[in-house]
Amino acid sequence: MTEPTANRPATPGRGPFLLLAALFFVPLFTAYALYFVWPEFRPKNTTNYGVLVVPVHALPAMTFTDVDGKAQSETLFKGHWSVVYMAGASCDNACVARVIMVRQIRLLLANERSRVKRVYITADANALQAAKTQFGSEQPDLEYLVDSGAAGSRAADVFKPTDPNALYLIDPLGNWFMVYPSSKDDYKLILKDIKRLLKLSMIG
């Protein structure tokens, strides 16, 4: 006759862990979604400096080349927050000021700066090379791209820039969700927006 096996202490299941994870992540996701994805449900007393794109615009596949003519991956805007500047044939004083301002904003993000990248796009390879020469070593983290896609699928077709000095904000999933027209030139308020979204986001 065998002796009864001693009762073992119950092993905690995954329930408590999942509950803690939900308590931590759900509020963050909800806040992010309400602020950037479904702004129509956002509390009315919450404001942002940039102009929200409603509905959020998922970027289509686009083709870019760098200053050396090398094709860039379609995942260019995935995994990071991107601040895009659509430049003209040349970078005038207003353009230079805008590029410098975004660099200062990124620097002020301190330890979070690696989550944000700056992208300079123009339709002409010669103009892109001229811009890179113009900025030289002053803009080491700026990505230079030629909008080399076919008509109808270029970045210019997506953003439809009517303001030559607008900034376009893209999330790490490749969604364009905010724009800063040239009239939005207070770097402190743009910085505040970006800091807020980095705090709310668990991606990028």
Secondary structure class of 30 (helix, strand, coil): helix
Binding site per annotation, positions: 91, 95
CB 173 within 8 A of CB 29: no
CATH of the domain at 129: 3.40.30.10
Nearest to 146 by CA among 120, 117, 174, 175: 120
pLDDT value of position 124? 92
Question: Domain for residue 2, yes or no?
Answer: no
The answer to whether position 20 is within a domain reads no
**Which residue positions form the known binding site for Cu cation?**
91, 95
Q: What is the pLDDT of residues 13-40, one digit of tens each?
A: 666 555 554 454 555 555 555 555 555 5
- Which class for 64: exposed (0-12), middle (13-18), buried (19 or more C-beta within 10 A)? buried
Where in the sequence is the domain holding 177, given as residue range(s)?
Answer: 49-200
Average pLDDT of the residues in 97-112: 98
pLDDT of residue 5: 47
28 within domain boundaries: no
Average pLDDT, integer, range 152-163: 92
User: Is residue 36 one of the residues assigned to a domain?
Assistant: no
Percent over 70 (pLDDT), the chain: 77
Number of domains in the chain: 1
